[in-house]
Structure 1
């Protein structure tokens, strides 16, 4: 049987500029992003009627896996972050990126669809996609059939507990200067704090003295994590 060939219909533009820091599920952070559709899919006619739906399914490609199954043997078990990164379970019982087909599925909230130059942009919130992620398909979310209110979700039944995000007066001053210089917006600050509140560290890391670094929306962000809070220690514009 021949391999399945899937077209790329567009690319995601998001503030997530590296895998570290991306929420582990969609809709945990209300970050705004947009899909830039490419020809021949950049036709507004293809989106007629979509505004009647509040949410969409995005089908997309894990495109930056360093250990993709395309080049390595099938791994039947993986270590989910929600289980501490140490316990192995079957790959089909997880949403791990390391799977037979490098395909992801995310629900996002639709904001608008606009013609921008020769392209069409699909604006959404709640995405958990890396900047530049190839989009394979877009489908409407159907509330009566897609929402299973009493579904059981094993180890991922509850949403993660959020931590308080704090920063020193010096960091607050830096953020204010970045906003005044149009290098950052108040919305970006809010989105960054939402991301950090989820504690983006791998589950097996628990060093309160370690300074972690994350790239987000053109910014290099440094932070430490404690039991109930995340402290931003520095923030600068990326080179």
Structure 2
């Protein structure tokens, strides 16, 4: 079984060849989601949410058959690809949670999205605090392989 997806817009970022590993909210730059005008009506009432899930195609990473990943903060150790946020995956799909700054016409201005410029947009969903915030979440293997060192920039931006 296979699936075909068509982009519903494009993500514009300052990242041409390399982006951050996570969408760090305090990152400087212009970040926009430009929705194809035919989908503009789908943005109705979205401005009432602070955050959204952005689902996109990692079109320049391509797919990978490898089930191992080597996160840069693991000191050369491998983890399973599904225990990582590597862009090299069996299905090249990216997911970020970003804050909405404003919506003008068919353009959503956001905080940092960890996607390369002109990344194809697949979907947008609202982040709903009471449903999506999991109080028992942890940092998984981050504690085992180097503490929260790589997360410090990300964690400090969320305050």
TM range (shorter): 0.7 to 0.9
Is the 1:83–1:155 Cα contact (8 Å) retained in structure 2? no
1:180 aligns with none
Q: Under a length normalisation based on structure 2, what TM-score does the superposition of the two structures give?
A: 0.83
Q: Does 1:52 align with 2:43?
A: no
1:156 aligns with 142
Q: CA deviation at 1:156?
A: 3.3
1:137 aligns with 123
1:107 aligns with 97
Q: Does 1:26 align with 2:28?
A: no
Q: Does 1:89 align with 2:76?
A: no
Structure 1 segments, 4+ long, off by >4 Å, are none
Secondary structure of the equivalent of 1:7?
coil
User: Deviations for 1:49-69, whole angstroms, at most 9, x for unmatched residues?
Assistant: 11110000000011112xx33
Q: CA deviation at 1:39?
A: 4.5
- Whole-Å Cα distance in 1 between the matches of residues 15 and 26 of structure 2? 12
1:79 aligns with 70
Q: CA deviation at 1:8?
A: 0.2
Secondary structure of the equivalent of 2:38?
coil
Structure with higher RCO (Cα < 8 A, 6+ apart)? 2
Unaligned residue ranges in structure 2 (runs of 5+): 154-159
Which structure: larger Rg?
A: 1
Q: Report how many aligned residue pairs link the two structures.
A: 148
Is the 2:52–2:124 Cα contact (8 Å) retained in structure 1? yes
> Which of 111, 118, 123 is residue 125 of structure 1 equivalent to?
111
**Superposition RMSD in Å:** 2.0
